[in-house]
Structure 1
Amino acid sequence: MKKIILSACILLSFSLRSQIKALTEDGKEVVLLENKTWKFVNESDEKTLETITTNDELFEKTKESTFIVKSKNVDGGFYYNPKKWKIVKAPESSTFVEYAFNNLSNSTVYAFFGSEIMPVQTLKNLKDILISIIQRNSDYFKLKKSEYRTVNGIKVLHVEYSANVKGLDFEYIANLYLTSGGYCSVSTHTYANQFEANKNEMENFVNGIVKAEKRGTDVVEIKTSPPPPMAPKKSK
């Protein structure tokens, strides 16, 4: 259960010291930031936390998203644009993440594709588990949006949220798909001050999620460019 979802491996990967937390007079928890400002630990309103809206718009992957990768655990995968994203080494601390990506135009934009074999009954259950884990592992959290969407013909849970992790502000976007044997998730995140400039590209990435037969034991290799050919030796 602790492996679940996109952000856990990110939220726990920083070695910076934690922020100081305190209680207000009416019992609400706040986090004191290093710039001498403060925020409520959880600024999500109750309605946003409890309600999942439905977006009737049909979402599809971009035409440029031509390369597919598949989960080894569940019947899910996603398409991405190899001219805009490159596969990088996934965090060693997470067995949930199957593929990690970095944006080629902005190295501060990261993405993950992960899956888990787990008997989750509904997307609402999946949301509740996700939120509880993020709240436990972040100094500040705000759920901005959670809605059901149809993406490439499948029903997904779309979530957008903000989190402060040990002094760093992040923005996240993710699509989660429930399969017969578990779930898979495509997520992107970046620093808060980079979010607006990269939001469209991040949304395009998560919209690559699809239903796909799980792959076999093949492993995607992360290769570097081959060395240049050696110059021919000059004849004496």
Structure 2
Amino acid sequence: MKLLKHVSAICLCLATVNVSAAQKAVTDQGDVVILSDNGTWFYEQSNLANDNKIKTNTAVFNKPASANFILKSKTNNASVALNSKEWTFAKGDGVDTAVEYNLSLKKGDLYARLITERIKLAPENLSNIAFENAKKVAPDLKLINKEYRVVNGHQVIYMVMAGTTQGIKFNFLGYYFSDQSGSTQFVVFTSEDLVERYQTEISDILNGFSVQ
């Protein structure tokens, strides 16, 4: 059974982190914090103590040789190198303006979203907010893996989450990145039982992430 009819629900938990509507403030110690509309706050830059808890994967991650097309963001400097014979893509549906592109594997039940914003946010905070947002749609969401990687010369946070939505167990695998041009979430998702089957396709599309 195709999972396409469930994608609309999954899209909700891969939405913008909503930091665009948040406000910045400066503490009496001179630290910049971001105030969310739900009353929570966090430092604009990650606390080094928290960063040190994330392991580093020293493997080499580069775009696949099969990538023949570069999908470029118009919001920030993010880009994705992909194989146009295997993947199709379309602009976001306008429901969430931060979702710039939706991607689908042509022959399979594998999907991806490129979520881009202009606001700069430490990747650790970006990944934490993404996790909390996803829990709103998948209350049983669990963190499977979280690590630093260097992908095509750029440090990102790689995060794997697993949760149940509409009775289906999904896995979400993604890269979280930020620089002066803004913040990016590039997330691939499919049902839990299909992750091993699509392991090559997942690695290839994720490792196509780069910066223009």
* Bin for the TM-score computed over the shorter chain: 0.7 to 0.9
Distance apart, 1:127 and its partner CA: 1.7
Q: 1:97 aligns with which of 96, 99, 102?
A: 99
Decide whether the 8 Å contact of 2:119 with 2:181 is kept in 1.
yes
Provide TM-score, normalisation by structure 1: 0.66
Give the whole-Å Cα distance in 2 for the aligned partners of 1:198 and 1:105.
Answer: 11
Decide whether the 8 Å contact of 1:8 with 1:133 is kept in 2.
no
Give the whole-Å Cα distance in 2 for the aligned partners of 1:180 and 1:99.
Answer: 21
Gaps of 5+ in 2: 1-8, 16-51
Amino acid at match of 1:209: F
Larger radius of gyration: 1
Distance apart, 1:173 and its partner CA: 1.0
Give the whole-Å Cα distance in 2 for the aligned partners of 1:12 and 1:69.
Answer: 19
Give the whole-Å Cα distance in 2 for the aligned partners of 1:144 and 1:191.
Answer: 15
Amino acid at match of 1:154: H
In the TM superposition, what are the counterparts of 1:9-158 in structure 2 within 5 Å?
A: 9-11=11-13, 51-88=53-90, 90-106=92-108, 108-120=109-121, 122-158=122-158
What SS does the corresponding residue of 2:197 show, helix, strand or coil? helix
Decide whether the 8 Å contact of 2:141 with 2:164 is kept in 1.
yes
Give the whole-Å Cα distance in 1 for the aligned partners of 2:170 and 2:160.
Answer: 11
Q: Number of residues paired by the alignment?
A: 168
Provide TM-score, normalisation by structure 2: 0.73
Identify if the C-alpha distance between structure 1 residues 63 and 12 changes in structure 2 by more than 3 Å, giving closer, same or farther.
closer
Decide whether the 8 Å contact of 1:160 with 1:172 is kept in 2.
yes
Identical counterparts, % of pairs: 26
What SS does the corresponding residue of 1:137 show, helix, strand or coil? coil
Distance apart, 1:141 and its partner CA: 0.5
1:59-107 Cα shifts (integer Å, max 9, x gaps): 000001121111111111110111110114534422111111110121x
Partner of 2:23: none
Identify if the C-alpha distance between structure 1 residues 12 and 156 changes in structure 2 by more than 3 Å, giving closer, same or farther.
closer
Give the whole-Å Cα distance in 2 for the aligned partners of 1:11 and 1:125.
Answer: 16
Partner of 2:185: 185
Decide whether the 8 Å contact of 1:9 with 1:94 is kept in 2.
no
Which region of structure 1 is more displaced relative to structure 2, 74-83 or 50-59? 50-59
Identify if the C-alpha distance between structure 1 residues 171 and 138 changes in structure 2 by more than 3 Å, giving closer, same or farther.
same
Moved over 6 A (4+): none
Decide whether the 8 Å contact of 2:102 with 2:111 is kept in 1.
yes
Give the whole-Å Cα distance in 1 for the aligned partners of 2:153 and 2:127.
Answer: 20
Gaps of 5+ in 1: 1-6, 14-49, 213-236
Amino acid at match of 1:9: C
What SS does the corresponding residue of 2:92 show, helix, strand or coil? coil
Decide whether the 8 Å contact of 1:160 with 1:174 is kept in 2.
yes
Distance apart, 1:193 and its partner CA: 2.0
Decide whether the 8 Å contact of 2:13 with 2:135 is kept in 1.
no
Partner of 2:3: none
Partner of 2:196: 196
Identify if the C-alpha distance between structure 1 residues 11 and 185 changes in structure 2 by more than 3 Å, giving closer, same or farther.
closer
Identify if the C-alpha distance between structure 1 residues 190 and 81 changes in structure 2 by more than 3 Å, giving closer, same or farther.
same
